[in-house]
Amino acid sequence: MKYLSVVILVLFSIKFTFASEEENRMLKANNFYQEGKFDRAVEIYQKLADEGFSGKELFYNLGNAYFKSGMIGYAILNYEKAQKISPNDEDITYNLKIANARTVDKIEAMPKIFLVRWWEELLNYYPVNGWTVVTYFIYLALLGVIGWYFFSRGKSRQRWIVISGLAIAVIFIFSLVVLVSKYTYDNGKEYAVVTESAVTVKLSPDEHSGDAFIIHEGIKLSLEDKVDKWVKIKLADGKVGWLTQADMKKI
């Protein structure tokens, strides 16, 4: 038991040390950013991201540092990563909008019918973890109503409890559908951002293929297929073509 306590203490100490080191590096990068040394800030933020650290603050700060360094593609990439974690953050949404306004290409998204647009907005209101929490609490409420029914007395009261239970059950099923749809939505489709200053989209996955069109850094792409180093991409306006993986970074 004594040795187990020592092991647990050591593990907590290691975890605390790594957490403190990460925070210190973040603070150092923040200081570089405040001093206008954006390249130094990018170096530290990016190294943290490459080492597997993530989080809204890290990606948001990295996006800001890239933006100040004039690297619009990488700025948009990291704003998109931050927004994926926190869809309703106003600062992220605003900065992403500003960065998108700096892109060379102005691509108009294909119009969607109201119901599709409303459904996507609902799915993106919370990340998967958020909808999981919502569904869990609705489930607990449903269990509470069921328990209340068995401990209640009087037919009139039980009738209202049944009505309330049915209403909560419907809400629970709807929330569960939203949760599953959100998970499928996030994991069923991959997106990337062009990080090169300008790239030529090909008609087929071949260097000698004809040119389809040219796009510039910062454009968000839907990834449709893959053949070796080539990726079939789709723009928001419906145009499709092929790019190499080196031309983009996944969100």
231: enclosing H helix or E strand: strand 230-234
User: Same domain, yes or no, for 156 and 177?
Assistant: yes
Q: Give the pairing of strands 211-216 and 198-202.
A: antiparallel
pLDDT tens digit string along 64-103? 999 999 999 999 999 999 999 998 899 999 999 999 999 9
Rounded Cα–Cα distance for residues 211 and 216 (Å): 15
Which has more pLDDT, 182 or 110? 182
* Residue 19 pLDDT > 70: no
Residue 8 has pLDDT above 80, yes or no: no
**Domain boundary residue among 66, 101, 136?**
101
In a domain, 172, yes or no: yes
> Which of 49, 73, 101 finishes a domain?
101
Question: Taking 80 as the threshold, does the pLDDT of residue 221 lie above it?
Answer: yes
Looking at the structure, do residues 123 and 83 belong to the same domain, yes or no?
no
pLDDT, position 91: 96
If asked whether residues 120 and 80 sit together in one domain, one would say no
Q: In terms of domains, do 199 and 241 share one?
A: yes
Q: Do residues 176 and 196 both lie within one domain?
A: no
pLDDT at 153 over 90: no
pLDDT given at position 12: 46
pTM value is 0.74
Check residue 35 and give its pLDDT: 94
Q: Which domain holds residue 210?
A: 190-250
124 — pLDDT class (breaks 50, 70, 90): confident
Are 175 and 212 part of one and the same domain? Answer: no
Would you say 242 and 202 are in contact if contact means Cβ atoms under 8 Å apart?
yes
Q: Is residue 51 located within the same domain as residue 139?
A: no
Same domain membership, residue 218 and residue 170:
no
Structural domain includes residue 106: no
Q: What's the average model confidence in pLDDT over 123-152?
A: 92
* 158 inside domain: yes
pLDDT at 11 over 50: no
Whether 17 and 71 share a structural domain: yes
59 and 120 in a single domain? The answer is no
Which domain CATH number covers 13? Answer: 1.25.40.10
Domain shared by 84 and 8, yes or no? yes
Task: Give whole-number Cα distances, 4 to 10, 17, 124, 132, 165, in Å.
Answer: 10, 20, 44, 35, 48
Last-in-domain residue among 57, 76, 101: 101
d(CA 22, CA 45): 10
Number of independent structural domains in the chain: 3
- What's the rounded mean pLDDT across residues 228-236? 94
Gap between the Cα atoms of 127 and 212, Å rounded: 35
Question: What pLDDT, on a 0 to 100 scale, did the predictor assign at position 110?
Answer: 77
82 assigned to some structural domain: yes
Of all residues in the chain, the percent with pLDDT exceeding 90 is 69
Claim to verify: residue 27 and residue 67 sit in the same structural domain: yes
Phi-psi region of 205 (alpha: psi -120 to 50; beta: other; left: phi over 0): beta
- Considering only 62-66, 95-99, 153-157, 236-240, which range has the smallest mean pLDDT? 153-157
What would the pLDDT profile of 167-212 be if each residue is shown by its tens digit?
A: 999 999 999 999 999 998 888 789 999 999 999 999 999 999 999 9
The CA angle 213-214-216, to the nearest 5 degrees, is 150
Residue 107 lies in a domain: no
Please report, rounded to a whole number, the percentage of residues in the chain having pLDDT higher than 70.
92
**What pLDDT score does 204 carry?**
94
Predicted pLDDT of residue 54: 87
Please report, for the domain that includes residue 224, its CATH number.
2.30.30.40
